[in-house]
Amino acid sequence: MKISRLITRLTRSTRLRAVPFALGALVSLGAQAAPAQVTMTLQPTQPGAVVNPDIFGQFSEFIGSGIYGGIWVGAKSDIPNTDGFRTDVVQALRALDVPNVRWPGGCYADRYDWRDGVGPRAKRPVTENSNWGGTNNDNAFGSMEFLTFAQLIGAKPFMAVNVGSEPPSNMVHWLEYLTSTSKSAWAQQRRADGREQPWKIPYLGIGNELWGCGGNMTPDYAADVYRRYRAFVQVGGDQHMQMIAPGANGSDYHWTDVMMKKAVKYMDGISLHYYTIPRNGDDMMSATDFDQATWIDTLSKALFMDTLIEKHSAIMDKYDPTKRVALDVDEWGTWFKATPGSNPAFLQQQNTLRDAMVAALTLNIFVDHADRVRMANIAQMVNVLQAMILTDNNKMVLTPTYYVFKMFKPYQGAKVLPLEVKSPDYSVGKVSVPAVQATAVLGKDGYTYIALANLDPTHGADISVRLPQGAFHEISGTILTAPDMSSKNTFDAPDQVKPKTFTGAHMTGQTMAIHMPSKAFVMLRLD
């Protein structure tokens, strides 16, 4: 590593890819018996960018039991429900303070005709879900149901319109149906369907993955399509709707460059999609059966999000130096082989401590880039990919990922604090990652919070944090860890991976000493 690069990494306000103490520290920690020695310096009087609560957003698509059975069961179901919505799921999501939910997709959005999901449910047509398994959708969960669900869990709706298979007029009529205050036919139809007042739609995604399932478009063509549809967006009343342009697939930096160059003045945000997918050649890996080499491979791929955001942000800075346009990572998360015995098109996978670590690392990366990343949506909310919640008929279990989001609640609306981190690497073979990753914020409640992740699954970490004299007097915290890398919550054993009180931090003068166990995520509160 060049010295100039080392200095750059040390002087950023919050450095996630923590630097080694010296070149000799780059050796594998696997042979070391002692905990990693980590130092940090916190500057609590220098708050920076605000952490937009929307980076903790969710995503729900018509895949498998993600909606039907996971969120919606119908009012006549034996499963306890509120007007058709699962009571247990609604209550669990309300406890997370979910800021926004993206719907109806995903790839499904660019085949979806919103008119199939309005009006009396008994008269709605059955359509085929050709994207995800060719199953039937009776469209019982449509626009009204989604917006009601968002309201029930206290979240803002983020709706994606069909650009791939419907003309602009379809979008125009949908927005008129949802938001118009007039006496037009579509507004009157909304009233006839039981909603007198127009809905508020804060976020509108115009198309989804236009480079793929949304139309296999080139970036130049996609930018023109976006501009065309954007020209027809009109909403009722005085509400402001933020427009999210369809962005890049992972490291397709050319896509971002073209979209920003041709359409920057027509957007409030541009999306980025990136999934953490460890592979054995072309084969997807198991969600629950993995070794330490796969563990570190997964975490290193999750940390690549930092590089993606830096490079896409640098391109955006050329066309938007004031950072008016947000980088919205509206699809992210782990993607493993589907649960054995399940329909592979349903994307159902178990959720382990490894998923929790990916969530913690990724959210810390978003916090580190809070000046540009202002919305994100994990894929997905229930029963699909890296879900918050798993259900099976009347049973429900909260996943390790759910608890990471719950531990991060104090970060919503907080201000980023400079936290310099010096950590050795944790290595397996040729793959290395920082042993410890961390961020700090000043919460809206006046407390200071530090989120720490120890990525090493076999060794603890001794952390020394330098603080201003007399800045803090009390420490409290919670920890999420488990006996094994693959520990998980099941319907029969739902509490294997669950936050507990953390007592491994102590204050002495200007120094806070923290002992973290291996493979752990800790949230500290300083008073």
Q: Would you name the residues annotated as active-site residues?
A: 209, 331
The counts of H helices and E strands in the chain are: 10, 29
Give the separation between CA 143 and CA 199, rounded to whole angstroms.
10
CA angle 358, 363, 364 (to 5 degrees): 100
Helices 143-153/87-94 angle, 10° precision = 50
374 phi and psi angles, rounded to 5 deg: -125, 0
Map residue 220 onto helix, strand or coil: helix
Which residue from 437, 142, 439 is spatially nearest to 302, judged by alpha carbons?
A: 437
**Residue 326 parent element (H or E):** strand 326-334
| Spatial distance between the Cα atoms of 109 and 160, rounded to a whole number of angstroms | 6
For residue 247, the one-letter residue type is G
Nearest to 416 by CA among 435, 444, 378: 444
Backbone angles phi, psi at 409, to 5 degrees: -50, -40
Which pair of structure tokens corresponds to residue 138?
């009776």
Cis (ω within 30 of 0) for the bond into 509?
no
448: which 2 tokens? 């200071």
- CA 271 to CA 308: how far, in whole Å? 12
| C-alpha to C-alpha distance for 107 and 213, rounded to whole angstroms | 6
Of 266, 369, 364, nearest to 313 (Cα)? 369
DSSP secondary structure letter of residue 121: G
At how many degrees (to 10) do helices 292-319 and 353-368 cross?
A: 20
- Mode of pairing for the β-strands spanning 36-42 and 419-422: antiparallel
Burial of 347 (C-beta count, 10 Å sphere; 0-12/13-18/19+): buried
Please report which helix (H) or strand (E) contains residue 485, including its range. none
